[in-house]
Copies of this chain bind each other. A is one copy, B any other.
């Protein structure tokens, strides 16, 4: 989801950027919540430290993703946010965001709508992960993303990126694509994949 869609302009105006080196913390569990973060570049992981020092990763956010939406409604952060690479993040101050929601119900509604949409999207991705077979998973992904394009999927990023997105090694992904193409279930052409009407 593009965050720009729902972060209200007033809050965006108040945003502050911060640069991080790999390993540096954006915030830590228990810190007072400053607001909502958007990752501009690099990767930031959300994690908790379990007993015995083990780290439990909750999520890894890449460029364009937001972090800690729930922190808007909580006084303290519930986990650590640590840069996995050198990274840039943008803070939308909680006070401003909430103030906008208060005086502008439409903004609040758009926020809720965006979250609801994200819930849908995440559930779909979980469903996808339940599919073990690489070929089936790829088909699921393609069918899902072809809805708009009349059977054609425009790939965002490289095939490697897509492979990571759907939770396959790039080798497995290439092989699945090759197999689907051999059996004439798809056709490929630089950056695009077309689903053929069969099976």
Contacts and interface: CB of A to CB of B under 8 A. Distances in A.
A57 B59 CA distance: 24
Nearest to A69: B116
Interface string A99-132: 0011001001101110111111011111101100
Q: Is the interface of A mostly helix, strand, loop or mixed?
A: helix
A167 interface: yes
Contacts of A127: 57-60
A4 interface: no
Nearest to A48: B147
Contacts of A70: 113, 116-117, 119-120
Contacts of A60: 127
A167 B116 CA distance: 24
Contact of A122 (B108, B122, B146): B122
Nearest to A56: B143
Interface in A35-70: 46, 48, 50-52, 54, 56-60, 69-70
A96 to B, nearest CB: 15
Given A72-B116, A112-B111, A123 B51 contact: no
A151 interface: yes
Interface residues of A, number: 49
A54 B143 contact: yes
Given A51-B195, A70-B119, A119-B119, 6 more contacts: A60-B127, A72-B112, A72-B113, A101-B112, A102-B105, A118-B119
Interface of A: 46, 48, 50-52, 54, 56-60, 69-70, 72-73, 78, 101-102, 105, 108-109, 111-113, 115-120, 122-127, 129-130, 140, 143-144, 146-147, 151, 167, 195, 197-199
Complex A-B, nearest 8 residue pairs according to Cβ-Cβ distance, in ascending order: A73-B113, A122-B122, A115-B115, A70-B116, A129-B129, A59-B123, A69-B116, A50-B143
